Amino acid sequence: MRYVTRYRIYPDKETENRLFSAFDKCTYVRNWCLDNNTFSDSILPKLKQEHPELKEVHSKVLQNIAHQISYNLKGLAKLKEKGRKVGKLRTKRVHSMIYEQSGFKIFDGMLSLSKIGEMPIVLSRPIRGKIKQIIVKHNKTHKWFVSIVSETSDTPVKTTGIRCVGIDLNLDNFSTDSDGKVVANPRKLRSSEKRLRRAQRKMSKKVKKSKNRKKQRLVLAKSHERVKNQRDDFLHKWSRYYVDNYDHIVMEELNIENMVSHNLRGLNKSIYDAGWRRARYFITYKAESAGKYVYFINPAYTSQDCFNCGNRVKKTLSDRNHHCQKCGYSVSRDFNASQNILKRACIGWDTPELTLAEIETSTPSQIGASFSH
């Protein structure tokens, strides 16, 4: 298993200056490679001869700069093959460095980096396994972090449990599951809009490149960081609840880009604020580490099809209740959708659907066994 854990580091002024100097040299190498269409680390010895100051940066760090460019270009090529419109890599400043295999050491609450120095590190949780990589990063709020990539020989034991749940993500509430649990939408961005708007307005009135503008930009960045941290905290707790309490978790395969591009009744900001993509990422990696299973199904008509009889009941976004005139099944729209999500994962999209009575009379082993096929 591979783990990525982030820790806070506190370099002093002298060490911080050396870090910024290393970032400048990494920026030069990255942009030089882009300008000269050279993406192999074999060019580094020649560059170091022409620019001896590059020797002040650990060799593995510069090699990883070249490797990252090559990796990003391959990613863009794959997207282009799928018909996606892609741009090109642009020159920019580097705000992170990757140490790999060597050049780092952790001891007595200190992190030592080759050609940089030592700095305090807050090990808020133990490091699991052998350290493979260390990524040093400086963010927009002037905080320093280090992400430690470690690896253990352990493999997660796959669950044999049969606890199943379907989860419907929506904007009215954040989620509704097939067991009837409704999680309220915290709307962190919406609740902070007034403070963000005020900070943005103040920055727009500052003279460009002035010290006051830089100070206000930091205030604005901290406000956005607070919103992000609050959202992440909520999503971590939400995903942890489902991974701890269920063995099989079923969600919709939502196409966020498509939903936003259609600008559904001006809901773009609310969709981004909900953080559905991040919720999916959190619950997926937590389930993988715990040996649990996460399934994604086609979301088409999950809100409109009746869970009990399969009759399609047309609804608008404002219709929050489901009432089937054919069989009389009446529940909230989101609860009906969560039941359909779980049922479709159990029996498949194209197979005959079960009725409510058949689901209720099925034993837990019968329902859980359907996931193994």
Residues belonging to the active site: 168, 252, 334
Residue 264 carries which DSSP code? G
> Which segments within 123-228 are labelled E, that is strand?
130-138, 144-151, 164-169, 175-177, 182-183
Quote the CA–CA distance of 110 and 224 in Å, as a whole number. 30
> 55 — phi, psi (to 5°)?
-70, -10
The partner residues of 8 in beta bridges, in order of sequence, read 122, 145
Rg of the chain over CA atoms, in angstroms? 25
d(CA 233, CA 238): 9
Longest dimension (CA), the chain: 80
Q: Measured between alpha carbons, how far is residue 271 from residues 163, 184, 185, 230 in Å?
A: 29, 14, 11, 16
Do 258 and 247 contact (CB within 8 A), yes or no?
no
